[in-house]
Amino acid sequence: MQNYSIITVGSSVFFECMKEQKSEYNLQNLKNFKEVKEILKTPLIDIYVFLFFIDDLEKLDLKELKKIKYPKIFFSKKNDNFKTIKKDNVLSSFLVLPINYQDLEKIIKLVILKFKFLFQSKLEIGKYQIDKNERTISFGKKSVKLTERELDIILYLSGKKEGASKQEIMKDIWAHGEEIDSHTYETHLYRLRQKIQSKLKDKTFISVEDGKYSIT
């Protein structure tokens, strides 16, 4: 069974909080980027999620960051501080502080879910084939092009056997600190369901019951 480790770099606040909450993950706190480079010299057995608190770090080695092939979540009190690292870390998450522990746990789970699919360019969800590289969902010879958000919604709901409410989807998929209202979310979901209905002739792929959305 694959183990997951969370490595906080910089601030130890979330590290201490996760220890106190008896987090299901293996935990480690590193003080600076030099310690990150040291740990990368040895083979990593677990799947690692790196949490970088960039306000607490004197220097970020952008070249070394690119070498980290594991999920990375960057934190800062100001969104502008992400500008220099966003271009070369497109698969990473960028979160504006403050953020509470419960939200962090959900974001980590979503990041791990996306990472598990990362090296599977093609996967099956129900009767459908998902191509992550091409961002398509297909059945037989019929195929539908997806936006990044639509793909995120499908992957997220595929891991929610009991479904998820609109509020849960909005909170877990859209990055903390990113402005989003109910109308924006509903537009994404409406367009996704319309694509599936019109191109793949499936009206029930994403269903809603008792306020919870699920993939059938």
Whether 126 contacts 215, CB under 8 Å: yes
CATH class of 121-215: mainly alpha
Does residue 100 surpass a pLDDT of 60? yes
Segments of the chain assigned to CATH 3.40.50.2300: 4-116
Segments of the chain assigned to CATH 1.10.10.10: 121-215
Which tens digit of pLDDT belongs to each residue from 118-136?
Answer: 666 777 888 888 888 788 9
Amino acid occupying residue 141: K
User: pLDDT band for position 177 (50/70/90)?
Assistant: very low
H-assigned helices in 31-165:
33-39, 62-67, 83-86, 101-118, 148-158
Which tens digit of pLDDT belongs to each residue from 38-81?
Answer: 877 766 666 788 888 888 777 777 777 877 878 888 888 888 87
- What CA–CA distance (Å, rounded) separates 135 from 102? 30
- What CA–CA distance (Å, rounded) separates 141 from 149? 24
For residue 199, give the 3-state DSSP assignment.
helix
Whether 9 contacts 23, CB under 8 Å: no
CATH superfamily of 4-116: Response regulator (3.40.50.2300)
> What's residue 64's pLDDT?
76
- Considering only CA atoms, which of 161, 150, 154, 163 is closest in space to residue 213? 163
Query: CA 127, 188, 159 angle in degrees (round to 5)?
Result: 45
Min mean pLDDT across 24-28, 38-42, 81-85, 91-95 is at 38-42
